[in-house]
Chain A
Amino acid sequence: MIVKMPFMPVKFNLQKRVKLAQGLWMIYWLSVIVGILIFSLGIFFKIELRKRSEMMDSNESHLVPNLLILVGLMACGLNAFGGKVCHDSLDPMKFAKWKPMLRSYLLLCCGFNGLLLLTAVLCFLMQFAVYLTLAEGLKNSIKFYKDTDTPGRCFMKRTLDMTQIEFRCCGNNNFRDWFEVQWISNRYLDMSNDLVKDRVLSNVEGKYLMDSVPFSCCNPGSPRPCIQHHLTNNSAHYDYDHRIEELNIWTRGCREALFSYFSSMMNSIGMLILATIILEVRLHPQHTTMEDPENPECESDGWLLEKGVKETFGELFSKMKILGKKNQVDEGGDAEATT
């Protein structure tokens, strides 16, 4: 005969139950605040992605911030409900109306924890997607920098300039990316000039290439006024050696700068979600002790699971099998009925 042994039993008298209910109520409301925090972080992340969407070709995936917003709202709702139940748990009459819902609430909480885990994992994994999107997006941004007269792209120059100034970066990998594209619009090039004609003829695609960078690459911390043009030509500037000059323009590439910004944001959000999971999991054992208010004054047992772990899972599986068989039986019944 298998003895029905509860999993991790604890003895509770009335006073302990009251203290437990109070502590639990505090934790529930703390979780609501954490839920609000996750919700606002989701909105913040969404806004940041929108702000930089031009740098990512508007291709960025909004899966993570949307999931965060959903999870934040769910956390608020579930934990507020839990707090209310906890508040009523010491009053047998009020608690009676909540009792039937408790089982389904616990299941919902388990599902919610699974969703939290998924969100945390996505926070860490989606960084790769962000990196690739940034690489592609920045390449195109640099290509379209000069198109200030093309509708739909006329603000690319301003956006890229502001990004380079704000994130203290230059180009995609580094400043040499600017040497490979024409970043001056043809409207401002004097095509009758010999110098211009030479440069345009010097490459297959007829692009006006220079060893210069836009002004937004300039580093204000440099002791000398910014050298933007003829960067690789030491003789063009007095007392200048391009191999040892470090402070003149930003040496970091914008892909690295933007990626480290987003990755630190996603890492901290992921950490917060893991902490939330730990907080939520702590709450579950306490639920079951609330299920015995009939004899308020006596000692009661609290437990984590009603039967042992193996037995609980065994029951779950047999329940699922029965459900499956029920479906088959119905079909079989229909088939019999039709024949």
Chain B
Amino acid sequence: MLLKIKFSQQRRVHLAQGLWLLSWMAVMWGVIIFCLGVYLKTELLRRAEVMDNTEIHVVPNILMMVGLASIGTNWVASRACQDSLDATRFPRWKVFLLAWFAVAAVLCCLLIAVVVLSYALQGSLEESLKVGLRNGIRFYKDTDVPGRCFQKETIDRLQMEFRCCGNSNFKDWFEVQWVNNRYLDFTSKDVKDRIRSNVDGRYLLDGVPFSCCNPASPRPCLQLQLTDNSAHYNYEYQSEELNLYSRGCRQALTDYFMELMNSTGPGVLSVVLIQLSVCLSLRYLQTAVEGAMALEDPEGDSEGYLLEKGVKETIEDLKANALKMLKFGQVDPNAAEGSSEAADAEKAEKTASPTPAS
């Protein structure tokens, strides 16, 4: 027996009560995990316009699923321990409890997988944001194209809310035309020069949209002619730090989501611990109550244990059971072979037996 503990009737009652409280606490934590999952999913959906793929959504999806499953399993555990002290009602739980332990183990594994995934998917999130933001910046000017007309507002609000500019930094705005052709005077010399200065015929500026402006700058925002020191009084492009946001939006968004997912880490790990303790307590309660029911005096002392035999033996037992179940699937051919073999053996014996006689 693995880790056996003696339980008197009093102790059994206390264990059942404690387990009941613990399982309701676990239900509450399940609700919290579910809400965390919903919140994370909502945040990801809000920024879905600047993300290219939805791989990262697996984290909140698993959190929501596990939250719901944990509510259900722990509610079942509380019902089981309510019935545990009643000798007439407890026996019907025997089969359920085996399944319960399997489900609880799966939940714990999923929770640990979520924590691992939230770190592992950081690279994928960054890639997705890189492509999404690049497209966002490219389509910024298309306020007259159906389906893309809110791109400008989305990117502006994003830059203002997350205090960032461009994809990697503000220079990303120098490489795209972010002013719509409708607002460009093609008769103007300046416009014509700029358009002819590059192969694609785009109107490129060394300027950024107003949403890149940093309100904390002591001077009114300089948006245009950023690389030209002489265009503004007392301005030096290389040393100016506060004028615009220096962080890129990809970095800002990645940091935000990573922080969100990391802050759920401790909550998830504590749910794993609580679930494990519910598992262990329920196993002890089950074995102690079953032991007590087998005694002549049901109110006497019984032993509770985790595993009936040692770890190795239990694993061998499980293997043997599994093989038996597999063999049951192949019963007919084996039985037929077996019976024909038995018949041959009998025949061999029969032929063998007369020879010594003769």
Is B233 touching A238 in the complex (CB atoms < 8 A)?
A: no
A161 close to B (CB within 8 Å): yes
Q: Is the CB of B221 within 8 A of A148?
A: no
Question: At the interface, yes or no: A190 with Cβ under 8 Å from chain B?
Answer: yes
- Taken together as a complex, chains A and B put the C-alpha atoms of A91 and B268 apart, in Å, by 48
Digit string of B130-169 for contact with A (CB within 8 Å is 1, else 0)? Answer: 0000000000000110000100110011001000000000
Q: Are B218 and A149 in contact (CB under 8 A)?
A: yes
B residues engaging A (CB < 8 A)?
A: 143-144, 149, 152-153, 156-157, 160, 178-180, 182-185, 188, 209-211, 213, 215-216, 218-221, 223, 232-234
User: Whole-angstrom distance between the alpha carbons of A86 and B218 in the complex?
Assistant: 63
Contact across chains for B233 and A148 when beta carbons are under 8 A apart: no
Additional pairs, 14, CB under 8 Å, beyond known A183-B220, A228-B210: A165-B215, A190-B233, A193-B233, A214-B220, A215-B210, A215-B213, A215-B221, A218-B211, A220-B157, A223-B143, A223-B152, A225-B210, A226-B209, A239-B182
- Cβ of A239 and Cβ of B215 under 8 Å apart? no
**A interface bracket (residues with beta carbon within 8 Å of B):** 20 to 34
Is the pair B210, A218 in contact by a Cβ cutoff of 8 Å? yes
A148 partner residues in chain B, CB cutoff 8 A: 218-219
Q: Which residues of A contact B209 (CB under 8 A)?
A: 225-226
Contacting pair A185 B152 (CB below 8 A): no
Q: How far is the CA of A189 from the CA of B179 in the complex (A)?
A: 28
A220: chain B residues within 8 A (beta carbon): 152-153, 156-157, 160, 211
Interface string of A268-302 (1 = CB under 8 A from B): 00000000000000000000000000000000000
Residue of A nearest to B184 (CB): A238
Whether A63 sits at the interface, judged by CB under 8 Å, is: no
Query: In the bound complex, what is the Cα–Cα distance between A225 and B234 (angstroms)?
Result: 26
Closest Cβ of chain A: how far from B173's Cβ, in Å? 11
- Complex contact B220–A188 (CB within 8 A): yes
Which residues in chain A, 51-75, are within 8 Å of chain B measured between CB atoms?
Answer: none
Q: Does A216 contact B (CB under 8 A)?
A: yes
- In angstroms, Cα B223 to Cα A216, docked, is 13
Give the residue name and chain of the B residue nearest to A148 (CB): B218
Q: List B contacts of A84 (CB < 8 A).
A: none
- Tell me the chain A residues, 223-248 only, with Cβ under 8 Å from chain B: 223-226, 228, 237-239
Q: What are 29 inter-chain pairs, A to B, with CB distance below 8 A?
A: A149-B218, A154-B218, A162-B215, A165-B160, A165-B215, A184-B219, A187-B219, A188-B219, A188-B220, A188-B232, A190-B233, A193-B233, A215-B220, A215-B223, A218-B210, A220-B153, A223-B144, A223-B152, A223-B180, A224-B143, A224-B179, A224-B182, A225-B179, A225-B183, A225-B210, A226-B210, A238-B185, A238-B188, A239-B182
